[in-house]
Amino acid sequence: MNYYMNVGAFYSSEAGRGLYAEIALIEEQHVTHYGSLKDPHPSWLDGLLLHEYTECYLYYSCYQTESDSRVKQLWEELFEQEVAHLHKAADLLQRYGKKDPQQVIPDGKFPPLLELVPSKDYVRQVLLSARLTSDRESYRNVGEMPQAADFFSYQDKVNPSVNMVRSHTIVKDYIRENERDYRYQDKPHPIDALDITTKDNTEVGRSREEALKAQNA
């Protein structure tokens, strides 16, 4: 989020600046969404300790499962930096929070490590949920939502025309210049409507009628 917000204004073209601004807003939405899932009770210093502990866990996972020796050294260096941050966070918690770090992280042991493995099949499985969207505090297939749902009224107000959305205008320009979109695929897209590379599909996940048609196909 910070990257796109800080760098976007310096992009050399108007199209690039518009795209960065759009991505920045989406990233801000992600940050707000993920932040809302956090336990609101821990103090800022508790949160700092947990944050640094999580970064240690992620970098250590990358270090343990990396197969390239040169990249492995990079993960190791980053892990060591985060361990130093973790020690500093623990010191701040003890000094100003008057709390022992073990009260926040009892044993300090990492959960099962993440693994660096090919993820294309996982991503394809996730893409099958493209027709799911937010429905207040839950998720719902677009085709099952009433026409009066907040989702559709929001789209009508914010994105009444996809021609106003910079990411879509850029894809259309790219297709016009290159006769297909920018994707590289080694397998068909799991959603047939999105497998077409010569047209920017703006209906999947946004159109109630498209979702109903897909359900009945």
Q: What is the pLDDT of residues 30-44, one digit of tens each?
A: 999 888 888 889 999
Tally of residues, the chain: 217
Residue 38 is predicted with a pLDDT of: 84
Residue 62: exposed, middle, or buried by beta-carbon count in 10 A (0-12, 13-18, 19+)? Answer: buried
Residue 177 is predicted with a pLDDT of: 96
Mapped onto helix, strand or coil, the DSSP state of residue 91 is helix
Residue 73 is predicted with a pLDDT of: 97
CA distances from 97 to 21, 43, 44, 51 (A): 38, 8, 9, 16
Q: Which helix (H) or strand (E) holds 209?
A: helix 208-216
Domain locations along the chain: 2-103, 120-216
Beta bridge partners of 135: 138
